[in-house]
Each structure stands twice: as structure tokens, then as C-alpha cells.
């Protein structure tokens, strides 16, 4: 299992990935479908140049905005243009795929990229996505367990394929925080990719709990983030985040209800997301990240691409994160979540 | 006549990229990436090469009939977008021919920008499984749509027949007899009528017997079954031979002998 470098004095950028490139064309931010993939490559090249660890995509299907349903192919495009940057999914919906085909696509990407794939996987929750593929949503846990059983066998050569570059296979990250997710992470000693709404305190307790159960992989966490000094801009970006999240989460299923039909649940979720988002001065943002690192987080997936900004603003933000956060986080890697 | 260079299947990305660049430099129309132990999903290789080499067509040969065709169609659409609309999809049956034919129809339906419903013997989209309480849609749509209004799909191997019946292109193998190919096209043309016009007719070829033998074979293939694409195995050397010695000789019905004589000192 590949883990993020645990060097105490390494730049904190080597523990920071940028997310999430979903290549959408939204009502608020329309763009050409092909251009979205060109921008993805341009952004990945900038992330590589600035020294970030990785760039992350995600998966959903069948939405008006063309949310990319095949993140591994989007990342394959990035692999062709980059040399060092790692390529992640946060998350790929492993329970919606044929496990053998998925393992092969992942292995091909791992080979093509020279071993740079970080395969974050989750369950998915929209009934229509499962239904289009002839799958039952209530069996998604079983599908996930099957994928976790079959993928290593494909990577081990049982189906006649050459091995991936990373041994025994692409680095696996379990997305989510449900008890069953943690059980799976402990059982396979997989890396974790915790949701953006968890506080540092809860994360610290969670890590302590699973360490006691023998887990020794890397705890990654997602975090919505935007650096702005001007208070008016801070408010503006928070409003954009809330609107963007409402649009995105409105077509989710929350506790068994389509979110747009359950406005109270949607509002509660929105507050959780908005409260946890780090939007503010570089000092404020760095303080929030420092708390996470000190709670034992070994990897940060910084979600700056929350579809609340145009492309120029996004690239400017990448420069800000790379330039302004590392000096403020020097020495924060006291408690390393990584084990080599 | 158009050409695809069939890139080495066990090469790494840099090797495949070199072949693709050589194709581009020599006026070859594109490259074909085949499935191998090394690259069990050729679409991944297509998306990566697309970031490195502009303008050429990038074809992938995949199996159809096992993996859910909607999932395949999503991967095809995204791959085509990464190429800016340069993908050619070559398909062969993964198992039973009936499943392959159904998968072909579902794939092509899903690649349109229309909400659709597909009811086949093996696959139903949407499935409307009662357990998916919030998934009871009448019609569904694959998003995003591919870059190309119509992604070229060619049948190969045992998958040629169903492709021909649908007015699609085909990729014949090197040892498929030309007269049989000609007869198959005549049958397709008589049942499809004008709908058969324009379907690409490709065959795998080799430069093993030299450029002159390949030129002769292509001219014969054109006479016998209307061949208009050649897929030639090789890398940079083969791309140069195609570009300089084969391609110029098979573009028109015939050339003036003096022109060919003028080229001779450049040959070899």
C-alpha cells in the first residue's frame, strides 16, 4: 500500500491534493464539453508545477451538467500530459461497476501513468444511477465487497493480465465514515478518505479508534477551501459555495429522500458543509488545516474546485494555496498519519 | 484510401506515443490501440495518447457483450471527449453473438444525446427494479454526450456481420478472403439500400512482403470489396514506408507511370 511520505520536514504540499475536477458544464458556469477536458489537463500541469501531490476527480452519472461518469478516463488524459502528479478519485463509485472491468481499467491507468493512481472508492447513493446499470442500490455494500475481493485477484494475474506498476495494486482509499466503511478500511488496511464535514476533533477520535484496531494506513480528509482576504469576497464565496452545494446535493438521496423533496434535510446538510468549509484569510484557512494535521490526518484533499469560480479564479486560487499555506503550516506535521 | 498504424501492444506509453507521432509526421490517418495483457482497457491508452499527439485519429479495439453496454458507452463518450472527437471504436464479441449485437444497439442508442429507453433480451435501461424506489425513470440519458455527433463503430472478427447489417464499418482480418468480403458487402447493400453508402471497409494488412506487395493488395482489395482503410501493424519505420511509398500510390484509381518513375529514387 502506497502512503504519503511521512518525512516531517517535507513540504506540506506533498500531502496536499487538489479536488475535485468533475468536468461539468453547469447553468452557472457553462463551457464546451471538450474544453472542460483541456482545462483539466491545463490545471493538472499547473498543480504539478506548483508541487501538489495529486489532482482528484469524482464520479456521478446521468445529470444535466455532464458530471464525468468515467473519472479514470479523465485521469488517463491527465496521465498523458503529466510526469509526477498523482491521479486520484474521490470517489469512484466501485459498487456501480463490473469489478473485473473496473480492475482492468484501473490497472491500465496505473501502468500508463507509471504507478500514479490513487483509487478512492465509495458506494454511491442515487437510485437512478444503480438502476440504469441494472443494479440494486440496496446491494451496494455487497457490490463493494465483491470489488474489493476481485480487484486484487485481477491485479495478481489470476485473469491473465500483466501486473500494475504499484504492488500489489493501485493505492486504495476508502471514501466515507460509516461504521461499515471503517470496518472495511481496518480489514484491508486501506487508506481512508474522510468526508469534508468531519471536524478535527471527531477525526482525531476516529483515527485513535481504528489505530487501536490495528489499522496503520493513511487518513486523508476532504475539505472545501478558498483563500480570500477581503471580507466581502469571503461572504461572496460562501454564498457561491452554498448555492453550488445546493445544486449538487439537490439531486442526491438524503436518508432515503431525493434532497430537493426534503428541504429540511438538504438545509441541514448544507449547514454542515458550509460550517466545515475553510473560506477566509490564509491565516484562518491554515489554522483549520493545522488542526486536521495535528489530529492525525496524513493527507489533505483540498476541494478548491467546487464549481463556484470561473477558470481564471480557480487557477489564481491554486497559486494562493501553493504560495500562502506551506509557510503557515511549517512544523504542523508533528503527528504523522502515514506509515511507510 | 486511409491508414491506421496498429501500435505495438506490449509497448509502454512512450513507445505508443512514438508510433502515434510517426503516424502524424508521415500523413497516416491514425493509430489503433489493441487490447493486451499490458493494456486490458485500450480506451485508457487512447485518452493518454490524446493528450500527447494532436489531430490523428485514435482507434481502440474493445470487446462488447459482457460488460454492461451503458457503462461501456460512458467510457466511450468520455474517451471521445478527451480526444476532441478523434475516436474510432472497433468492437468484437466478448461472448455470444446475440449479446454482442444487443450490446451494439444499446451502445449506439446510449451515445445519442436523447433520453431513451432500451428493452433487450439481456439488458434493460432503465431497469426499473422495484427495489430502486427513487429510480423509476421512464427515460434516461447518458451524459456527457461524446464529442462526435456519431462515433464511428467498426465490427471486427465475429462481430463484422452484425456491424455490416447495421450499415456500420468493419475491420477484416488479413486472411479474410476478399471475395467473401465482397459478397457480404453486396448482401448488406441489397438489404440496406442507400443506408449502406459510406460504411468504412477496413482490413488488417502487413508490410512483411514490402511496400509494393501491400500496394498491389490494397488495389485488389479496393476492386474486390471496396476497401478504403488499411490497418498496418508497426511503428515509426512502417509509418514512414506507408507515408512515402504506399499511401501516394493508392489514392487515385491510377497514376501516370512517369510520376511513379519520378518517385523511384526516393523509394527504399
Please provide the DSSP assignment of A89-129 as one string.
EEEEEGGGS-HHHHHHHHHHHHHHTTS-EEEEEE----HHH
Name A125's Cβ contacts closer than 8 Å, sequence gap at least 6: A137, A252, A253
Chain B residue whose CA is closest to A63:
B143
**Neighboring chain A residues of B145 at a CB cutoff of 8 Å:** 33, 66
Cβ <8 Å between B135 and A130: yes
Joined grid coordinates for residue B98? 446475440
Please state, in angstroms and as integers, the Cα–Cα distance from residue B44 to each residue in A45, A78, A287, B4, following that order.
Answer: 19, 11, 40, 18
Q: Given this model, what pLDDT does residue B78 score?
A: 98
Residue A124 to residue B134: CA distance in whole angstroms = 14
- What residue has cell string 501513468? A113
- In terms of DSSP bridges, do strands A16-21 and A54-57 run parallel, antiparallel, or are they unpaired? parallel
Q: Given this model, what pLDDT does residue A252 score?
A: 83
* A77 closest CB neighbour out of B51, B77, B140: B51
A340 has a pLDDT exceeding 80: no
What's the whole-number mean pLDDT along residues B76-103?
98
Question: What is the distance in angstroms between the Cα of A308 and the nearest Cα belonging to chain B?
Answer: 20
| Residues A217-247 as b or e (16 or more Cβ within 10 Å = b) | bbbbbbbbbbbbeeeeebeebbebbbebbbb
pLDDT above 70 coverage of chain A, percent: 95
pLDDT band at B58 (very low <50, low <70, confident <90, very high): very high
**Neighboring chain A residues of B109 at a CB cutoff of 8 Å:** none
Cβ <8 Å between A80 and B52: yes
Tell me how far apart the terminal alpha carbons of chain B are, to the nearest angstrom.
21
Q: Given this model, what pLDDT does residue B34 score?
A: 94
Residue A163 to residue A189: CA distance in whole angstroms = 21
Lowest-confidence region among A241-255, A284-298, B23-37: A241-255
B265 has a pLDDT exceeding 70: no
Q: Where does A3-160 show beta strands of DSSP type E?
A: 16-21, 54-57, 86-93, 117-122
Q: Given this model, what pLDDT does residue A338 score?
A: 44
What's the whole-number mean pLDDT along residues A162-179?
96
Q: Given this model, what pLDDT does residue A7 score?
A: 41
Q: Given this model, what pLDDT does residue A336 score?
A: 46
Residue B90 to residue B20: CA distance in whole angstroms = 18
Joined grid coordinates for residue B216? 498491389
pLDDT tens sequence across A20-70 = 999 999 998 899 999 999 999 999 999 999 999 999 999 999 999 999 999
Q: Does B13 touch chain A (CB under 8 A)?
A: yes
Q: Given this model, what pLDDT does residue B135 score?
A: 85
CB A295 within 8 A of CB A204: yes
Question: What is the distance in angstroms between the Cα of A198 and the nearest Cα belonging to chain B?
Answer: 28
Tell me how far apart the terminal alpha carbons of chain A are, to the nearest angstrom.
9
Cβ <8 Å between B129 and A131: yes
Chain A residue whose CA is closest to B43:
A73
Cβ <8 Å between B78 and A130: no
Question: What is the distance in angstroms between the Cα of B216 and the nearest Cα belonging to chain A?
Answer: 38
Joined grid coordinates for residue B235? 511503428
Q: Given this model, what pLDDT does residue A8 score?
A: 37
**Neighboring chain A residues of B143 at a CB cutoff of 8 Å:** 61-67, 69
Joined grid coordinates for residue A291? 488542526
- Give how far the C-alpha of residue A7 lies from the chain's centroid of Cα atoms, to the nearest Å: 23
**Half-sphere CA count of B243, side-chain side, radius 13 A:** 18
Q: Given this model, what pLDDT does residue A162 score?
A: 95
Residue A105 to residue A1: CA distance in whole angstroms = 19
Name A296's Cβ contacts closer than 8 Å, sequence gap at least 6: A203, A204, A207, A208, A219, A335, A337
Cβ <8 Å between A112 and B67: no
Residue B103 to residue B155: CA distance in whole angstroms = 12
| CB-count burial class (<10 Å; 0-12, 13-18, 19+) for B152 | middle
**Neighboring chain A residues of B77 at a CB cutoff of 8 Å:** 70
Q: Share the mean pLDDT of chain A.
A: 93
- Note the helical H segments in A213-310: 231-249, 263-276, 282-294
Residue B216 to residue B7: CA distance in whole angstroms = 23
A238 has a pLDDT exceeding 90: yes
A30, A63, A75, A101: best to mutate for the B interface, most B CBs within 10 A: A101
For residues B16 and A338, the model is more confident at B16
pLDDT tens sequence across A254-302 = 887 788 999 999 999 999 999 999 999 999 999 999 999 999 999 999 9
Cβ <8 Å between B71 and A66: no
CB B248 within 8 A of CB B22: no
H/E element, A321: helix A311-328
Chain A residue whose CA is closest to B38:
A162
**Neighboring chain A residues of B123 at a CB cutoff of 8 Å:** 134
Q: Does B142 touch chain A (CB under 8 A)?
A: yes
pLDDT tens sequence across B190-239 = 999 999 999 999 999 999 999 999 999 999 999 999 999 999 999 999 99
pLDDT band at A146 (very low <50, low <70, confident <90, very high): very high
B266 has a pLDDT exceeding 80: no
Q: Given this model, what pLDDT does residue A277 score?
A: 97
Cβ <8 Å between A81 and B79: no
Amino acid at each position: 500500500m502506497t502512503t504519503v511520505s511521512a518525512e516531517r520536514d517535507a513540504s506540506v504540499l506533498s500531502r496536499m491534493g487538489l479536488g475535485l475536477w468533475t468536468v461539468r458544464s453547469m447553468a452557472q458556469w457553462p463551457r464546451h464539453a471538450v474544453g472542460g477536458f483541456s482545462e483539466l489537463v491545463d490545471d493538472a500541469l499547473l498543480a504539478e508545477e506548483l508541487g501538489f501531490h495529486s489532482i482528484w476527480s469524482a464520479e456521478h452519472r446521468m445529470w444535466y451538467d455532464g458530471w464525468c461518469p468515467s473519472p479514470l478516463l479523465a485521469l488517463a488524459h491527465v496521465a498523458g500530459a503529466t510526469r509526477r502528479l498523482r491521479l486520484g478519485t474521490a470517489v469512484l463509485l466501485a459498487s456501480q461497476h463490473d469489478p473485473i472491468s473496473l480492475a482492468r481499467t484501473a490497472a491500465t491507468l496505473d501502468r500508463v501513468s507509471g504507478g500514479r493512481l490513487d483509487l478512492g472508492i465509495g458506494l454511491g447513493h442515487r437510485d437512478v444511477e444503480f438502476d440504469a446499470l441494472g443494479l440494486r442500490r440496496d446491494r451496494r455494500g455487497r457490490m463493494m465487497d465483491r470489488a474489493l475481493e476481485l480487484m486484487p485477484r485481477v491485479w495478481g494475474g489470476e485473469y491473465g493480465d500483466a501486473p500494475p506498476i504499484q504492488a500489489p495494486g493501485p493505492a486504495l482509499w476508502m471514501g466515507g465514515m460509516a461504521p461499515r466503511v471503517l470496518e472495511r478500511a481496518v480489514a484491508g488496511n486501506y487508506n481512508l478518505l474522510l468526508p469534508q464535514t468531519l471536524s478535527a476533533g471527531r477525526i482525531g477520535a476516529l483515527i485513535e479508534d481504528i489505530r487501536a484496531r490495528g489499522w496503520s494506513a493513511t487518513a486523508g480528509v476532504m475539505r472545501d477551501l478558498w483563500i480570500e482576504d477581503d471580507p466581502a469576497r469571503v461572504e461572496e464565496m460562501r454564498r457561491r459555495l452554498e448555492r453550488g452545494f445546493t445544486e449538487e446535493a439537490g439531486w442526491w438521496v438524503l436518508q432515503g429522500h431525493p434532497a430537493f423533496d426534503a428541504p429540511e434535510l438538504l438545509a441541514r446538510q448544507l449547514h454542515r458543509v458550509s460550517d466545515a468549509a475553510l473560506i477566509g484569510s490564509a491565516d484562518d484557512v491554515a489554522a483549520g488545516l493545522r488542526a486536521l494535521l495535528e489530529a492525525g490526518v496524513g493527507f489533505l484533499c483540498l476541494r478548491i474546485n467546487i464549481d463556484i469560480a470561473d477558470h481564471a479564479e480557480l487557477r489564481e486560487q491554486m497559486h494562493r494555496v501553493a504560495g500562502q499555506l506551506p509557510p503557515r503550516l511549517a512544523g504542523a506535521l508533528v503527528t504523522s498519519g502515514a506509515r511507510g | 484510401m486511409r491508414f491506421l498504424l496498429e501500435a505495438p501492444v506490449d509497448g509502454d506509453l512512450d513507445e505508443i506515443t512514438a508510433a502515434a507521432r510517426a503516424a502524424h509526421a508521415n500523413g497516416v490517418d491514425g493509430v489503433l490501440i489493441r487490447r493486451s495483457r499490458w493494456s486490458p482497457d485500450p480506451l485508457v491508452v487512447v485518452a493518454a495518447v490524446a493528450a500527447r499527439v494532436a489531430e490523428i485519429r485514435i482507434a481502440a479495439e474493445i470487446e462488447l457483450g459482457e460488460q454492461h453496454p451503458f457503462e461501456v458507452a460512458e467510457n466511450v463518450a468520455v474517451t471521445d471527449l478527451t480526444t476532441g472527437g478523434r475516436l474510432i471504436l472497433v468492437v468484437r464479441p466478448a461472448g455470444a453473438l446475440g449479446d454482442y449485437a444487443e450490446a451494439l444497439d444499446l451502445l449506439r442508442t446510449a451515445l445519442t444525446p436523447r433520453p431513451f429507453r432500451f428493452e433487450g433480451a439481456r439488458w434493460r435501461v432503465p431497469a426499473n427494479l422495484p427495489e430502486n424506489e427513487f429510480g423509476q425513470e421512464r427515460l434516461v440519458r447518458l451524459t456527457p454526450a461524446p464529442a462526435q455527433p456519431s462515433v464511428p463503430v467498426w465490427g471486427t472478427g465475429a462481430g463484422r456481420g452484425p456491424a455490416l447489417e447495421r450499415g456500420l464499418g468493419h475491420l477484416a482480418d488479413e486472411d479474410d478472403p476478399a471475395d467473401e468480403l465482397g459478397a457480404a458487402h453486396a448482401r448488406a447493400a441489397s438489404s440496406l439500400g442507400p443506408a449502406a453508402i459510406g460504411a468504412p471497409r477496413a482490413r488488417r494488412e502487413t508490410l512483411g512482403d514490402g511496400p509494393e506487395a501491400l500496394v498491389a493488395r490494397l488495389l485488389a482489395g479496393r476492386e474486390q470489396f471496396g476497401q478504403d482503410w488499411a490497418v498496418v501493424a508497426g511503428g515509426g519505420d512502417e509509418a514512414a514506408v506507408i507515408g512515402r511509398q504506399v499511401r501516394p500510390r493508392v489514392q487515385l484509381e491510377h497514376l501516370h507511370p512517369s510520376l511513379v518513375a519520378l518517385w523511384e529514387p526516393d523509394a527504399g
